[in-house]
Structure 1
Amino acid sequence: MKVNNIIYDLYDIDFTDRRIIEHELGQTIQVQDEVEKESDKAETEEEIISESIVDRVQNLLMWCIGAVFGRWDVRMALDKSLIPKLANPFDPLPVCSPGMLLSPDGYPATLGSIVSEAWLKRRVNVLDVPTDVPNPTIADKDYPIQVDWNGILVDDEGHSNDIVKKVHEVLVLIYGEHADEREREILEILDVKSLRDYFRQPKRFFDFHIKRYSKSRRKAPIYWLLQTKKKNYGIWLYYHKLDNDTLFKILRNYVEPKLNLISSQILEVSQKVVNTDGRDKLTYEKELEKLDELRQEITEFKEELEKVAKMGYDPNFDDGVILNMAPLHTVIPWSEPPKYWKDLESGKYDWAHIAMKYWSERVKAKCKKDKSLAIAHGYE
């Protein structure tokens, strides 16, 4: 603990960030008198506790999303003996974070390759990759929750892959019969009416996640929100699962079926409008108007996604998170992607693969004069 405090002081890491770091490392978070005395903030103990609760609740929900995407291993929340021991301070850094869902090779899990509990219990520490476990994997159906391996969730009540439904399933797994009670406490702490409101409002979860993953000048959120202009429909993506087919999967498996469903609902309600009178007729007319507005809203969203897809969206992780977000700037409720898209257009990031993808003639011309650019794009 003394060594940790020395390092924190050397790097000027404040009290709040210390708590976050220790929480992520699975260490016991202790409020130390010397830290409080040295803090420049005039925060009372009550304010610190209050802030900690809100942050912890938001981190819990962020962890739930990661669990659904197959980033975190939910079994470790149910059985602490499965959590690997940390390595020594001067050992190499682990390939994956201690709580990640793994394959037997020690890398992130994939479809059909989830490590068994026996494999987890055999690990000496977070660096260890056991090779002598008789049954190193389990069937996907035997894992406590259904992982979304495509890295796509939808904000659409009633959909089997609805983000609120999936997060609730994780809460049920963790809290059992007390899940509904815990969810009510979560909503009270976050001061929102529902989890849908929390995930749907960009200034709530998405903003928290962006700040959480944008420390030290980096802008690297790994859970992306693509959303319609009126915020009545949205798609959540897991950055590490992006590929050149992601947008087509969204269109084919989510957006187009949703529009087809709305169209069928419009036909059904239109018939009711024709066959009814009085107050019921007015009710159906209002319902029809809302459905038509939603169809138009999602149609515009679809058109924006189609534009990007037809341009050949092909994310390259070497470019970094924010540049990969830039082509989707019209559907991401965050001010940064549009700025980076303009910078890409102006030639500021011509070293990036994405610049070569969209402005190849300009970048190739620069490569003839700039050897570093030529090397970056494989022309040397």
Structure 2
Amino acid sequence: MTTFLRLLTDKDKSSCLAASCTAVRLGEVDTRVFQVEPQSFRSVPGAPFAYWVSEAVRQTFRLFPAFEGGDRTVRQGLATADDFRFVRGWWEVGAGGDRWFGFTKGGSFSRFYADIPVTVNWHRDGEEIKAGICKRYPYLNGNAEFVAKNPQYYFRPGITWPLRGIVYSAQAVPRNCVFSVAGKMAFAPERDLHTWLAIFNSRAFDYLVRLFAGKVGGVQYEAGLIGGIPVADMSGDQSLQLSRLARRGWSIKRRLASIEERSHAFLLPAALRSRIGDFDPQAIDTELASIQAQIDDTAFSLYGFSEADRQAATAQSAGEPATDEANEDEDAEDTEPEAPPIDALLSWAVGVAFSLFDWRLATGERAAPPEPEPFDPLPAKSPGMLPDGAEPFHAHAGILADDQGHPHDLARLAEEVLARVEVTVPDDVRRWLQRDFFAFHLQRYSKSRRKAPIYWPLSTTSGSYTLWVYYPSLTSQTLYTAINDFVEPKLKQVGGDVTVLRNKGSVRTRDDEKQFEALQAFELELIELRDTLLKLAPTYKPSHDDGVQISAAPLWPLFRHKPWQKVLKDTWAKLEKGDYDWAHLAMNYWPERVRENCKTDKSLAIAHGLEDRYIEPEPKQRKARGKKKAGGDA
């Protein structure tokens, strides 16, 4: 028998160590002291040094089969080797079609439900990704599946979890998604997935994960770790009960996401959400706690945990965070605070003005669509978006303006949206749009290291005049529309005002002089904006498959938000250098260079539909080794 002392949670370790040593000498009970027969560690595969759990818990690995086995398995997925090229926010490229598919990437702590905010290019069985992998790693000798792992499991429904964390949590993954090297997945017959979703989210399962990993906190949840966790037999009634609890947990957890405008579950912003059914986050949290308690009680019983073991398992996860702070996954930098209600409301109003969202959900003119099932494919649009074919709030050609009195004035339209849904209109909507909105929007529409804003403010040098371009409506004609329908008419108006004041001559008042100078400066800025747009327009042919950052890069001089402008300027420099020759814009601006590179890079040839230009290299001849002569050199 070996004695172990556990002082991980004690702050004054010196005095606690002394007290525990005294207790051992005197034969007294001390919760920090564990007496374990080292042979018992072998009950767990790999014999982790998990002295802090009871012998009965260690024996679960002998009593019950591992999850991995039979019709159940855990798999690692795709590493694209170039996420900037192959991964997009789902709002950048839309859904549907045969190119972009939901992509699980680990995410953050969340039980039952988590949105899948990014997509991956898996067109024609991922041929472009596979060619890129083979180009980057020539030592694979064409075996791309060494990196793009387990493609036979792509598009199946299953369960995923964060890459690593303090407390384990699992979420449902719908059909028609691809999973990543970080967003590993567990698979089982679809009829059983709800039950396994409950078991995976139980504290008993988390306790066994920590035991198998041989540590508490900071666990990296590899496929072998999760697949090796024992799973207890259960009756049909127990399975059904767990299935119903997980289904309900998924439903109300998804309801919390219905106020996040970037989510597939979005309905309305928080300020309006209660208009379409009960929305009480506190009540939802209370019900989630009740569901968790019921799942835990059933799971503890299935595994045969004693009361002491239950208390130990519960104590280890007692401090579990309710936010993304539970995890240190690859998207940790993307965690964002909850949007202030007024900012979220104004952002939604902008979306309505641009025909992205449907105001009728807030007025009762349209009912919310029915809730999907957890493993149904992701929708092409969130339920809060304007349905295809529906009349928009305001017809436009993909551009709105910050121009008081203009029929496409964004501030006025946002105010009209709020008035239509009978919300008090703030006094400073225009100021908010000018100073605060883009920074807020950029933060909300960034994910997985991607910055992908869909409302683009193209401005004069001083920001005195701004055109808001709507990325989903972007075409090769957008800049011409900006010139002909907005900048030129504005120039004509301002030029007329300048002429009137100029003609006043010596009778101009002091106020007239100030206005005259301001209008002249404004006119020069508008001319500069027009000339810049005229220079860019003839060669600007964007493709949504390139994503927001590439598509916006040629326009970098027109953005006034300095951090975003720098990102775009750097992106443009890399485009010029040839780092992104896979982009459609690169072919547009430098066709000769890109076509030449297609001869030696199969992935580029595939990207541009020029496979016939690719020249397969000659296989390298292996040098034959000569036999060494007996006796060596003479």
Counterparts of 2:553 and 2:319, CA distance in 1: 41
Q: Is 2:368 the partner of 1:368?
A: no
Q: Give the corresponding residue for 2:447.
A: 215
Q: Residue type matched to 1:325 in 2?
A: A
Contact 1:273 1:285 in 2 (8 A): no
Q: Is 2:546 the partner of 1:261?
A: no
Q: Give the corresponding residue for 2:434.
A: 200
Q: Residue type matched to 1:205 in 2?
A: F
Contact 1:73 1:99 in 2 (8 A): yes
CA 82–6 in structure 1, closer or farther in 2 if over 3 Å, else same: closer
Q: Give the corresponding residue for 1:238.
A: 470
Q: CA deviation at 1:281?
A: 2.1
SS at match of 1:247: helix
Counterpart mapping for 1:106-185 below 5 A: 113-114=389-390, 140=391, 145-148=393-396, 150-175=397-422, 179=423, 181-184=424-427
Instruction: Deviation per CA, 1:307-356: give whole Å up to 9, x if none.
Output: 1103x211101111110000101102222111110110111100111001
Instruction: Deviation per CA, 1:201-253: give whole Å up to 9, x if none.
Output: 2xx11011111010221221111111111010000011110111110000000
Contact 2:360 2:366 in 1 (8 A): no
Q: Give the corresponding residue for 1:346.
A: 577
Q: CA deviation at 1:38?
A: 2.2
Q: CA deviation at 1:91?
A: 1.2
Q: Select which of 299, 316, 321 maps to 1:38.
A: 321
Q: CA deviation at 1:36?
A: 9.2
Count of aligned pairs: 309
CA 63–318 in structure 1, closer or farther in 2 if over 3 Å, else same: same
CA 206–343 in structure 1, closer or farther in 2 if over 3 Å, else same: same
Q: Give the corresponding residue for 2:259.
A: 23
Identity of aligned residues (%): 37
Counterparts of 1:182 and 1:146, CA distance in 2: 18
Q: CA deviation at 1:7?
A: 4.9
Instruction: Deviation per CA, 1:128-176: give whole Å up to 9, x if none.
Output: xxxxxxxxxxxx5xx6x3232x11100111111111111111011011x
Q: Is 2:511 the partner of 1:283?
A: yes
The runs of 5 or more residues in structure 1 that have no matched partner are 43-50, 104-112, 115-139, 185-193
Counterparts of 1:207 and 1:98, CA distance in 2: 26
Q: Give the corresponding residue for 2:124.
A: none
SS at match of 2:405: coil
Counterparts of 1:13 and 1:182, CA distance in 2: 44
Counterparts of 1:358 and 1:264, CA distance in 2: 38
Q: Give the corresponding residue for 2:522.
A: 294
Counterparts of 1:326 and 1:69, CA distance in 2: 22
Counterparts of 1:86 and 1:23, CA distance in 2: 15
Counterparts of 1:212 and 1:98, CA distance in 2: 19
Q: How large is the Cα RMSD of the aligned pairs?
A: 2.9
Contact 1:223 1:237 in 2 (8 A): yes
Counterparts of 1:94 and 1:40, CA distance in 2: 26
Q: Give the corresponding residue for 2:360.
A: 75
Q: Is 2:351 the partner of 1:66?
A: yes
Q: CA deviation at 1:13?
A: 12
Counterparts of 2:459 and 2:426, CA distance in 1: 25
CA 159–40 in structure 1, closer or farther in 2 if over 3 Å, else same: closer
Q: Give the corresponding residue for 1:331.
A: 558
Contact 2:354 2:394 in 1 (8 A): no
Counterparts of 1:7 and 1:160, CA distance in 2: 42
Q: Residue type matched to 2:530 in 1?
A: K
Q: Select which of 527, 531, 536 maps to 1:308.
A: 536
Counterparts of 1:13 and 1:40, CA distance in 2: 12
CA 20–356 in structure 1, closer or farther in 2 if over 3 Å, else same: farther
Q: CA deviation at 1:20?
A: 7.1
Counterparts of 1:91 and 1:374, CA distance in 2: 35
Q: Residue type matched to 2:483 in 1?
A: L
Q: CA deviation at 1:39?
A: 5.2
The runs of 5 or more residues in structure 2 that have no matched partner are 1-108, 115-159, 168-252, 268-272, 274-278, 290-317, 326-336, 612-634
Larger helix proportion of the pair: 1
Larger strand proportion of the pair: 2
Q: Residue type matched to 1:237 in 2?
A: V
Q: Give the corresponding residue for 1:224.
A: 456
Q: Give the corresponding residue for 1:129.
A: none
SS at match of 1:67: helix
Q: CA deviation at 1:40?
A: 8.0
Instruction: Deviation per CA, 1:15-47: give whole Å up to 9, x if none.
Output: xx99973423348352448799725899xxxxx
SS at match of 2:401: strand
- Structure number with greater CO (CA < 8 Å, separation at least 6) is 2
Deviates more, 1:90-99 or 1:291-300: 90-99
